């Protein structure tokens, strides 16, 4: 009984949704901390963490996933450097450039930003980088700035020769870069997080929101929006970007960089509105339970609802499709995909089933397969607004602005058509 209580405390404190890492991970961390503290009864441990902030922080340190490396995903950093050169340096900015990296884990991300700035010719006085993580251990390691091979991945490691010195089979970051980053232990979800912070021109918040449920993701995005200057840019992790589809943000032109700026008012009509995720065929449901928390940011379908019994084949297919949406919404992607495949065997021309499979592939990071599914959807149903909107976003991210515009225009026409106004 105590493990769920501990999971719920972790969710309340740091936003961690147990289904995203699995109860196994949390229970292993709890067992490790109990061993370290010499405690054998989980109820005793639960009582300790409800009273001791220090031990709760130790548990958080044990449970967090610090996975990170220099120049992770490459393109976000190329887009950042591009923006610094063409927008920041080309402008008449006299104030230092303010950058936030949250969560920064063991420092690889903010130090990468510092190396990019040095490569762009900015001095330490030209920019201020704040780097924040909830884990004390991570922040301590970040401050030491000494890294093993795991932090250096990918083919191009020329930056290591420029900015690091080998020390005892590891690599020590040079002080000229190290001193550019200000580390701080803090919790993005804590009430006072934004207090006293001036807004940032650039925010990197990558690979954190995936561990939150839907309401917590929005709470975090609200906070980041608050902290971003009007003309600032925001980078998320690649599987987190669909959260911004629902907000007035536009993707940066740079391909696959997962960076956004606020959509300008005059362009807001151009901003493809958020695709809805519900199947177009309505299915009767009872409305007596609240929606469940959603670990993955792609489904708007109301969850946890009982479906009414139907006996026609078409009705049963609708029920199965609705069930697949609900499973996907709860994070059970494999099971949802299996339902879709069963449905496609029965009825290969069902546009909404292809659409849901596209959402599932997109959430799993398989953009090529997602795009294939969305294209099939619009082949079967040329006015499928949601699939057209997703295709527009995918093409824009891939740098294919022509197709992105064409899908956007088709989505707008489909929306008017579906409303009966076009």
Ligand X SMILES: C[S@@+](CC[C@H](N)C(=O)[O-])C[C@H]1O[C@@H](n2cnc3c(N)ncnc32)[C@H](O)[C@@H]1O
The binding site for ligand X (CB under 6 A) comprises 14-15, 64-68, 72, 102-103, 105, 109, 133-135, 138, 187-189, 206-208
* Separation of alpha carbons 394 and 397, rounded Å: 5
Least distance between ligand X and beta carbon 105 (Å): 4
Least distance between ligand X and beta carbon 371 (Å): 24
Nearer to ligand X by Cβ, of 77 and 374: the residue is 77
Nearer to ligand X by Cβ, of 67 and 341: the residue is 67
Q: Which residues pair with 165 in a beta bridge?
A: 172
Question: What count of other Cβ atoms lies within 10 Å of the Cβ of residue 239?
Answer: 19
The DSSP code sequence of 322-375 is HHHHHHHHTT-HHHHHHHHHHHHHH-TT-HHHHHHHHHHHHHTT-HHHHHHHHH
Nearer to ligand X by Cβ, of 216 and 277: the residue is 216
Nearer to ligand X by Cβ, of 240 and 305: the residue is 240
Least distance between ligand X and beta carbon 186 (Å): 7
Residue carrying structure tokens 């109990």: 34
Least distance between ligand X and beta carbon 328 (Å): 23
Record the tokens describing residue 388, joined without a space: 């057209």
Q: Which residues pair with 294 in a beta bridge?
A: none
Nearer to ligand X by Cβ, of 72 and 410: the residue is 72
Least distance between ligand X and beta carbon 382 (Å): 38
3-class SS of residue 127: strand
Least distance between ligand X and beta carbon 53 (Å): 15
Pairing state of beta strands 200-205 and 228-236?
Answer: parallel
3-class SS of residue 204: strand
Question: Cα dist. 75→38, 227, 262, 339, 393 in Å?
Answer: 46, 23, 20, 35, 17
**DSSP label at residue 285:** B
Least distance between ligand X and beta carbon 212 (Å): 8
Least distance between ligand X and beta carbon 292 (Å): 21
The DSSP H or E segment spanning 154 is none
Tell me if the bond preceding 386 is cis, omega within 30° of 0. no
Least distance between ligand X and beta carbon 276 (Å): 29
Nearer to ligand X by Cβ, of 236 and 395: the residue is 236
Nearer to ligand X by Cβ, of 205 and 404: the residue is 205
Nearer to ligand X by Cβ, of 18 and 187: the residue is 187
Record the tokens describing residue 143, joined without a space: 């401050």
* Separation of alpha carbons 316 and 297, rounded Å: 27
* Separation of alpha carbons 78 and 272, rounded Å: 25
Least distance between ligand X and beta carbon 15 (Å): 5
Taking a C-beta distance cutoff of 8 angstroms, is the pair 220, 248 a contact? no
Determine the longest span between alpha carbons in the chain, in angstroms.
71
Distance of alpha carbon 226 from the chain centroid = 17
Nearer to ligand X by Cβ, of 76 and 358: the residue is 76
Pairing state of beta strands 259-262 and 228-236?
Answer: antiparallel
Nearer to ligand X by Cβ, of 21 and 359: the residue is 21
The total number of residues shown for the chain amounts to 422
């Amino acid at each position: 009984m105590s493990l769920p209580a501990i999971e719920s405390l972790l969710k309340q404190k740091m936003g961690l949704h147990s289904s995203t890492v699995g109860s196994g991970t949390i229970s292993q961390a709890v067992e490790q901390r109990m061993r370290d503290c010499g405690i054998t009864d989980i109820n005793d441990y639960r009582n300790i963490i409800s009273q001791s902030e220090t031990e709760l922080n130790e548990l958080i340190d044990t449970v967090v996933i610090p996975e990170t490396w220099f120049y992770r995903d490459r393109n976000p950093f190329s887009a950042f450097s591009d923006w610094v050169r063409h927008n920041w340096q080309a402008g008449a900015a006299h104030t230092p450039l303010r950058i936030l990296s949250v969560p920064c884990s063991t420092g690889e991300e903010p130090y990468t930003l510092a190396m990019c700035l040095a490569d762009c010719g900015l001095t330490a006085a030209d920019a201020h980088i704040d780097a924040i993580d909830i884990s004390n251990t991570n922040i301590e390691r970040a401050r030491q700035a000494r890294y093993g091979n795991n932090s250096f991945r990918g083919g191009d490691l020329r930056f290591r020769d420029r900015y690091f010195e080998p020390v005892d089979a590891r690599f020590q970051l040079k002080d000229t870069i190290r001193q550019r980053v200000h580390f701080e232990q803090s919790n993005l979800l804590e009430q006072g997080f934004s207090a006293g912070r001036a807004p940032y021109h650039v925010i990197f918040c990558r690979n954190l929101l995936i561990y939150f449920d839907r309401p917590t993701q929005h709470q975090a995005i609200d906070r980041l929006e608050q902290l971003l200057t009007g003309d600032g840019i925001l980078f998320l992790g690649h599987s987190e970007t669909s959260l911004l589809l629902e907000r007035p943000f536009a993707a940066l032109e740079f391909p696959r960089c997962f960076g956004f700026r606020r959509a300008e008012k005059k362009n807001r009509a151009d901003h493809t509105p958020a695709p809805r995720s519900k199947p177009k065929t309505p299915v009767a449901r009872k409305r007596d339970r609240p929606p469940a928390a959603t670990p993955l940011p792609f489904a708007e379908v109301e969850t946890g609802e009982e479906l009414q019994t139907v006996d026609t084949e078409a009705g049963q297919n609708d029920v199965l499709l609705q069930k697949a949406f609900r499973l996907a919404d709860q994070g059970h992607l494999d099971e949802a995909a299996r339902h879709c495949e069963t449905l496609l065997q029965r009825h290969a021309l069902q546009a909404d089933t292809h659409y849901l499979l596209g959402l599932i592939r997109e959430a799993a990071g398989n953009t090529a397969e997602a795009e294939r599914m969305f294209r099939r959807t619009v082949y079967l149903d040329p006015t499928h607004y949601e699939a057209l909107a997703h295709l527009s976003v995918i093409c824009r991210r891939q740098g294919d602005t022509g197709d992105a515009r064409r899908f956007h225009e088709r989505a707008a026409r489909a929306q008017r058509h579906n409303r009966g106004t076009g």
